[in-house]
Amino acid sequence: MTAGSRPTLAVWKFASCDGCQLSLLDCEDELLAVADAVRIVHFNEMSRAKADGPYDISLVEGSVTTAADAERIREVRRTSRRLITIGACATAGGIQALRNFAAEGEYLGAVYAHPEYVSTLRSSTPISAHVPVDLELQGCPIDRGQLLEVITAELTGRRPVLPVHTVCQQCKGRGTVCLLVAEGTPCLGPVTRAGCGALCPSTGRGCFGCFGPSEGAATGPLAERLLDDGMAPVDASRLFATFYAGNPTFGDQAVALSRSDSRADLAEQEEPT
C-alpha cells in the first residue's frame, strides 16, 4: 500500500495532560503496524509533520475550556470523516471539570497570582458538548489495547469490541477478593467500566473510577453502602468527584453526597418528587 493510498490519521490535543496520546506511543511494536496501515499526518506528541485535511480519522484528547478551543474543535470536526474522543477529559470534561462545581473564578484566584490574565470558559466540557462525536473511548488514561482495537475496527469497517461490564467482574475473573465486602475498603468497582484489568484492587486499593461509570451504573446503593461502612458523606462525595466528575452519573452522586450529613439525608434526596 502506497503512502498516498493509506487512510489519514490525525491526533489532536485540547485541555489535558497528554496521557492518552502517550498511550498510542506506548503501543511500541504495535505502533509500527499502525504506521504501516495509516498515514499519521498530525500528531504533535510524535512529529512536527503536518498536513491539511480532510482527515479520515481524528483522535481527540482533552476537554474544551476556552473560546479558542470551542472554535478549533468545530474546525477539526469539519475536516474529519470520523472523530473519536479518547480519555476522560475528552469524553466527560476530565479532572478539570471539578471547577464546574465551584463559583466562577474561585479556583483561578487560588491558583494564579494574576487570574485576570487567564481567559477561560465558565466550565470544562467534553467534546460531545460542542460537536457530534462518532465514538468515545473511556479511561484516564485510555487502555492501549482498546485504542488498537478501535483503530483496527475503523480500518476494517466494523464496530469495535469494547468492554461494557464492570471492574467488579474483572476482579472476579482474576480471583481478587472483594475489598468492599471483605475489608470495607471504599471501592467504585461495582459502578466503574472495565478497562484497567482491575489493577488497583489487585494491589489492595479500592477502584477510583478511572474508566468512568459502567452502563446502567447504580451509584445510589453503592453510596449507601459506603456510608453504612462508616465513610463520611464528604469523603464519599470526593470518591465520586475525580476523573469523571463531569459525567452526570458520578457528578450528580457526588453533589448529592456533598449536601448530606447522613445516610437518611441521602435517601431523602433520592426519593421521587
Give the H/E segment covering residue 43.
Answer: strand 39-43
pLDDT classification of 194: cutoffs 50, 70, 90: very high
**pLDDT at residue 228 is higher than 80:** yes
pLDDT of amino acid 181: 94
Higher pLDDT among residues 170 and 35, named by residue: 170
| Mean pLDDT of the region 80-91 | 98
| Cβ(212)–Cβ(87) below 8 Å | no
| Mean pLDDT of the region 187-195 | 97
Residue 90 CB neighbour total at 10 angstroms: 31
| Mean pLDDT of the region 209-226 | 96
pLDDT of amino acid 234: 95
State the pTM of this model.
Answer: 0.90
pLDDT of amino acid 115: 87
Between CA 186 and CA 43 the distance in angstroms is 39
Q: In the numeric block, which cell numbers belong to residue 88?
A: 476522560
**Residue spans per domain, the chain:** 3-156, 167-270
CATH class in words for 3-156: alpha beta
**pLDDT at residue 192 is higher than 60:** yes
Q: By percentage, how much of the chain surpasses pLDDT 70?
A: 94
Higher pLDDT among residues 69 and 50, named by residue: 69
**pLDDT at residue 3 is higher than 70:** no
Grid cell 494574576 in the structure block, residue? 114
Q: Which of 29-38, 125-134, 237-246, 256-265 has the lowest mean pLDDT?
A: 256-265
pLDDT of amino acid 265: 62
**pLDDT at residue 223 is higher than 90:** yes
pLDDT of amino acid 104: 82
Nearest CA among 48, 50, 142, 45 for reference residue 90? 142
pLDDT classification of 57: cutoffs 50, 70, 90: very high
pLDDT of amino acid 68: 96
CA separation, residue 50 to residues 15, 19, 59, 193 (Å): 20, 21, 15, 35
Q: Which of 24-33, 132-141, 240-249 has the lowest mean pLDDT?
A: 24-33
Distance between first and last Cα of the chain:
61
| Mean pLDDT of the region 63-70 | 96
| Mean pLDDT of the region 207-226 | 96
Amino acid at 245: A
**Average per-residue pLDDT in the chain?**
92
pLDDT of amino acid 107: 84
Between CA 95 and CA 59 the distance in angstroms is 19
pLDDT classification of 271: cutoffs 50, 70, 90: low
